[in-house]
Structure 1
Amino acid sequence: MGENREIQKGVWEGRIPVAFHLSEDDTENEHPDPVYLMLPRISYFPLHTEKINKHFIKFVNDEQAEEMWLEYDNQPLKWHYPVGLLFDLYCSENSLPWNITVHFKDFPEEELLHCISKDAIESHFMSTVKEADSLKHRGQVINSMQKRDHKQLWTGLLHDKFDQFWSVNRKLMESNGEETFKYIPYRLYMLDRHYVTNLFRPMTDEGRPQVLRQLLMSAVPQLFNEDEEFQKHVRIHGTEPSLDTPIFWLSENFSFPDNFLHLCISET
C-alpha cells in the first residue's frame, strides 16, 4: 500500500468534454450555438461556467434572467458535487460529449443550493476537507496547518495546479504516526436517493487491510445476493475498481481533492 504519484496525477488530469446548450424556454429569439469545454473531473461546475454565463445571458430576457443553473436529462445538477461524480452518477462514456442544458429562470429551490460566489464554493470545499480530516486524523492535521496552507489547497484546485495542491494535500494523506487512517472518508451515491456513508475502519481488529467489498457489505448489504456477490457496479473517476482493492490505498490515491472517496453505484 502507499501513495502513487503517477495514479494521483492521472486522477487529477481526468477530463470530460461537455456541450452546454441554452434551454429553449429561456430564449424567444435566436437560439445560440452550444459552448464546448473540457472540464476537469475533480473540479466544480461554477469554477468554469463564467464564460458560459457571458455567452448565453445576452440571449435571455433581462427581466426574466435569474441565477444560472445546469440540468441533464431533467435532473438539476448540484454545483457542490464534483463534475466527475455527477457524470458517473447520471451519464456514461457512451454519451460524450456530455450535453448539459443551461437555465436562467425557474431555479429549482428545493433541489439546488444557491451559489452566490466562488467564496461559497471555497467554503463548501474547505468544510468537506475538514470533515474528511476529522475522520482520518481527528482533525489534527488540518487544524495544525496555517491559513496559507488552506488557501494553497484551494488555489491549487482553482487554477488546476497539481504540484501546488499536492504539496499540501500530501500531509492530509499521511497516516500521522498511525498505521492507517482512523476512518475512511467516503460517500456512496445511487440515483434518486441521498448518499450513504458510515464509519468504516481501513483495518480489521486483527490488523488486516479491509477492501472495497467489505466497505460495500458494511454500507449497502442489501445490494449483495445470497452468495455475497455484488449486484451492481461501482465507479470512481470513470473507472470500476476491483472489489478486492484495499480501501486505504483507494483513499490515498482515488479520493477527490476534498479528500472523500465519492463512489457511484449503478446498474451497468
Structure 2
Amino acid sequence: MEEEATKYIWEGAIPLQIQLHESEITSFPPPPPLMILGSRIGYLPLLVPPLKAHFSSTLPPGTDNVWFDYKGLPLKWYVPTGVLFDLLCAEPERPWNLTVHFRGSPGDVLTPCEGEESVKWSYINSLKEAACVINGNCKNVMNMSQADQYDLWQSLLKGNMEGYMKISSRLKLGPFGEDSLLSEESETVATSKPSRIPVRLYVRSVGEEIVDIEDAPVIDSWDKISYINRPFEIYKEEGGYVSLKQALKSLLPETFNTNSSQEEGSSTNVKDPNAPDFEDDNTKLRLVRVQGIEPDMDIPFFWLANCLRNPEFYLHICVFISKQPKLR
C-alpha cells in the first residue's frame, strides 16, 4: 500500500498552460501558450528549457531572469509545483494557467533563481534541514559522495523513483512509525525508525463569508499565507495512533485554541481522546490538502509522512481556514 502511494506521488503531474507576459512579446502574431505537464514534486524553474525554446523567437533582448506568476502573484520557485497548485487553487484549475517572465524579476518578493543549480541547492538544503529534524544532525547528507548527490538529483529531475529510493535509503531518514521512539531510560534509539517528522504548513484564510471553497478570493500577496516550518514528534501510546486531526491541533496551536503549552518551533503530541472538533469561536477548518488529496482527518499521521512526503523528506500540508472577527 505504501509503495503504491509513493508511486502515485512520483507519477503525479499538473497540466499547465503557460503564456509569455505581454510586455515581453516582440513578434506578431503573439506566440501561443505552451501546454506542458509539471511534476508535482518538481519545481517551476526546471521547466525553463522547453519554455525558452518555445518562446525564443519573440523574447526581447537582455539577460534572462525567469520567474512565474499566477493571476499577478509571483510564485516562489523553491516551493514544489504541486504545493503551489494545492495552495493557490482552492478549486483545482485544469489546465493551470500561469504566466512566465524572462525579464524584471521582482526582487522585493522573490529571491533570485539562477536556474537548475539554484533549485538543486535549495533541494539539498531542505534535505539537510529534514535530516536535522529526524536525526538531530545532517551528517548523512553532508557525507554523501559527489556521485550519490548527482545521482539523487538526477533521479528527481527524471522522475526515477527506483533510483531515488536506492540512494535515499542510505541516508537512513525513514520510514516513520509510531514504534520509532527514543527510550527515556537509554541514550540509544529503540529502533532505527525516526519519530520526529519534518512538516511544512501553509495556512490560508479564505474569509468567514465563503460558503463554497471554490469561491475563495484570489491570493494577491504572500503576506496572506502563513508559512510554518515545524517538526512533529510522535509518542507511542497504548491502544491507538496519532491521527492527522490530532497532529494538526498540536502543530497549529496558534490557529486553533487547543490550550497548548508548546514552545515556538516545536510540537509534541499529547493524545486526548476527548479533544474537541476542529472548530472554536473564531476559527473553522475548511480544507486540508496533501499532494492534491483531501485526506480523512482520522488517517494515521505517520502513514501520511511515509507515503505523501516530498523527496526532500518534508511533509507539505495546505490548510484552509475561516476566521471570524472576535466579539468585544
Which TM-score applies when normalising by structure 2?
A: 0.73
1:243 to 2:303 alignment: no
Identity value in percent: 31
- Residues 222 and 158 of structure 1, relative CA distance in 2, 3 Å threshold: same
- Residues 208 and 148 of structure 1, relative CA distance in 2, 3 Å threshold: farther
CA distance in 1, matches of 2:104, 2:142: 41
The CA RMSD measured in Å over matched residues stands at 2.5
Q: 1:198 — aligned with what?
A: 230
Q: Is the 8 A contact 2:174 2:193 kept in 1?
A: no
Q: Deviations over 1:133-168 (max 9, x none)?
A: 111122354356444333222111011111101112
CA distance in 1, matches of 2:105, 2:92: 29
- Residues 94 and 101 of structure 1, relative CA distance in 2, 3 Å threshold: same
Q: 1:96 — aligned with what?
A: 94
Q: Please tell me the residue identity of whatever aligns with 2:173.
A: L
CA distance in 2, matches of 1:106, 1:86: 21
Deviation at 1:76, TM superposition (A): 0.6
Deviation at 1:194, TM superposition (A): 3.8
CA distance in 2, matches of 1:184, 1:256: 12
Q: 2:196 — aligned with what?
A: 183
Q: 1:158 — aligned with what?
A: 157
Q: Which structure has the larger Rg over C-alpha atoms? A: 2
Q: What is the 5 A alignment of 1:121-160? A: 121-138=119-136, 139=138, 141-143=140-142, 145-160=144-159
- Residues 90 and 248 of structure 1, relative CA distance in 2, 3 Å threshold: same
Q: Is the 8 A contact 1:69 1:107 kept in 2?
A: yes
Q: Deviations over 1:51-83 (max 9, x none)?
A: 1022224312214x5412110011111111111
CA distance in 2, matches of 1:179, 1:66: 47
Q: Is the 8 A contact 1:234 1:263 kept in 2?
A: yes
CA distance in 2, matches of 1:261, 1:99: 26
CA distance in 2, matches of 1:92, 1:152: 36
CA distance in 2, matches of 1:144, 1:28: 49
Deviation at 1:205, TM superposition (A): 6.9
CA distance in 2, matches of 1:250, 1:149: 27
Deviation at 1:42, TM superposition (A): 0.6
Q: 1:212 — aligned with what?
A: 244
Deviation at 1:13, TM superposition (A): 0.4
Q: 2:54 — aligned with what?
A: 55
Q: Secondary structure at the match of 2:278?
A: coil
Q: Is the 8 A contact 1:235 1:241 kept in 2?
A: yes
5+ residue gaps in structure 2?
A: 177-188, 205-223, 259-275, 280-284, 323-328
Q: 1:42 — aligned with what?
A: 41
Higher share of residues assigned helix: 1
Q: 1:228 — aligned with what?
A: 277
- Residues 104 and 141 of structure 1, relative CA distance in 2, 3 Å threshold: closer
Report the more deviating stretch, 70-79 or 168-177. 168-177
- Residues 208 and 150 of structure 1, relative CA distance in 2, 3 Å threshold: farther
1:261 to 2:315 alignment: yes
Match of 2:306 among 242, 252, 255: 252
Q: Please tell me the residue identity of whatever aligns with 2:304.
A: L
Q: Deviations over 1:74-96 (max 9, x none)?
A: 11111111110110011156411
Matched residues, number: 265
5+ residue gaps in structure 1?
A: none
- Residues 49 and 217 of structure 1, relative CA distance in 2, 3 Å threshold: same
Q: Deviations over 1:7-34 (max 9, x none)?
A: 1001110010000111112225421100
Q: 2:261 — aligned with what?
A: none
Which TM-score applies when normalising by structure 1?
A: 0.88
Deviation at 1:204, TM superposition (A): 4.8
